[in-house]
A = this chain, B = another copy of it.
Amino acid sequence: MKRVLMLGLILGAFASRGVFAYDWQALPDKAPEPADNPTTAEKVELGRMLYFDPRFSATGTVSCNTCHNLMLGGEDNRNFSMGVHGQMGGRSAPTVWNAAFASTQFWDGRAATLEEQAKGPVVNPVEMGMSEVETAMERVRAIPGYRPYFERAFAGDNPMTVDNAARAVAAFERTMITPNSPYDRFVKGDSSALDEQQQRGMKTFAETGCTSCHSGAAFSGPAMAAGKGFFMKFPTFQDNAYVSKYDLLKDQGRFDVTSEEADKHLFKVPTLRNIALTAPYFHNGSVATLDEAVRVMAKTQLNQDLSDQQVADLAAFLNALTGEFPEQTLPRLPATPGWAFAYDKK
C-alpha cells in the first residue's frame, strides 16, 4: 500500500516536473579548488604542458595524456593501459574529465587529491616507469624553457619542485570539466534536451537504485572532504555468473591499500559522466559495451535482472551524460637541450 502511494507520488512528481523526483544535479561550471592550490591561468598553462610532455617518463614516450587521453573520453579505451616498454597494469585508466569532482583518486582511493595523484604514475614501473619522482623532476629542470613557466606560476626562489609540478597538473585538470550534457540542459529546464527513451532511462536509473551510489553532480557519490572517498563493494552480490565471467573477485581493490578486511573489493564509485566514450568498463576493463555494463551493475550491486527495455533505456540515459569538451590548444613544449636524455631502451 505504501509502495503504491510512493509510486503515485513519484509518478506525480515525474509528470509535473517532467523528471523523476530525485536530487538531480547539473555539473557546476567550475570544479572545487583546494585552499592551498587556487587555480590560476599560469598554473593551468604549465600544467597543460607537463600533462602532454612524454620526456619525463623512463622511455620518453609516455605522458599523462597517453593513458588519460583528452582527445578521447579522458582515458585510452583499453582494458589495461600500456605504459613504458609495452607493459600493462592491472586496472583500467579512469577518465581525467571531471576527476576534479571526486574526493579521492585512483580506483582504490590511494590519493586524496589530484595533486597527490599526479605523482603516482610517474614512478609506477608499468606506467611512466621512473625510479624516483625527483629523477623525473630533474629531467624537467634540465629543460631550460620550463623555468619561466614555473616562475610565473609559483612564488619562491626555487619553484621547480615536484610539488609545484603536481600542483600545476592538478590545476590544469580542474579545468577539464564537461558541462552542458543533454542531461545538464534537461535538469536546467530544457525539457527537449532528453528524448523520451532517455527520460525513461533517467527514471529507471533512480527507480532501480543506481542513484544510491552514482549520486551527485558527477554521478560518483556525494561531495566529501578530500581524501574521504566514496567506496562501494564490487561485486556486492557475488552469486551470479557475471562474477566469474568477468573475473570480478580477482582484484581486492582498496584492501591492497589498507590491508583491512572490510576494504576487500571496495572500489571508488566512478563518475558516469561521458561513460559512453570510455569503454571498456569497470576497474578491470572486462566489459566492452555499455548495455552489458548496465546489466552487470544491476545484478552485482542491486541483485536485479533488468529487462532488455530497461537496459536500452538506461544506456540511452547514460549517453545523455556526454558533455561539452573545452577546446584545447596543443601546448608548445620547450625544447630538449642540445643533448639527448638518457632514455631507457629495452
Q: Which positions 277-304 of chain A face chain B at CB distance < 8 Å? A: 277, 279-280, 285, 288-291
Contact yes or no, B333 A72, CB < 8 A: yes
Which one of A33-41, A81-89, A99-107, A223-231 contacts B?
Answer: A81-89
| Chain copies in complex | 2
Contact yes or no, A328 B329, CB < 8 A: yes
Cβ-neighbour of A345 out of B66, B88, B338, B339 (below 8 A): B88
Contact yes or no, A339 B279, CB < 8 A: yes
With A279-B336, A329-B327, A340-B279 given, is the CB distance from A86 to B59 under 8 Å?
Answer: yes
Contact yes or no, B290 A336, CB < 8 A: no
User: Which B residue's beta carbon lies closest to that of A92?
Assistant: B340
Cβ-neighbour of A60 out of B55, B70, B78, B341 (below 8 A): B78
Tell me how many residues of A have a C-beta within 8 Å of chain B: 49
Cβ-neighbour of A329 out of B55, B85, B329 (below 8 A): B329
Contact yes or no, A332 B340, CB < 8 A: no
**A346 contacts chain B at the CB level, 8 A cutoff:** yes
**A198 contacts chain B at the CB level, 8 A cutoff:** no
Chain B contacts of A341 at CB under 8 A?
77
User: Which B residue's beta carbon lies closest to that of A290?
Assistant: B338
Contact yes or no, B289 A72, CB < 8 A: no
Complex CA gap A330/B341 in Å reads 26
Chain B contacts of A280 at CB under 8 A?
339-340
Chain B contacts of A339 at CB under 8 A?
279-280, 288-289
Chain B contacts of A59 at CB under 8 A?
82, 86
Which residues on A are within 8 Å of B, measured CB to CB? 52-55, 59-61, 66, 69-73, 76-79, 82, 84-86, 88, 276-277, 279-280, 285, 288-291, 325, 327-333, 335-341, 343, 345-346
Can you list 15 pairs linking A and B with CB atoms under 8 Å apart? Answer: A53-B71, A55-B77, A60-B78, A60-B82, A71-B330, A71-B331, A77-B336, A77-B341, A276-B338, A280-B340, A288-B338, A288-B339, A289-B338, A291-B338, A325-B332
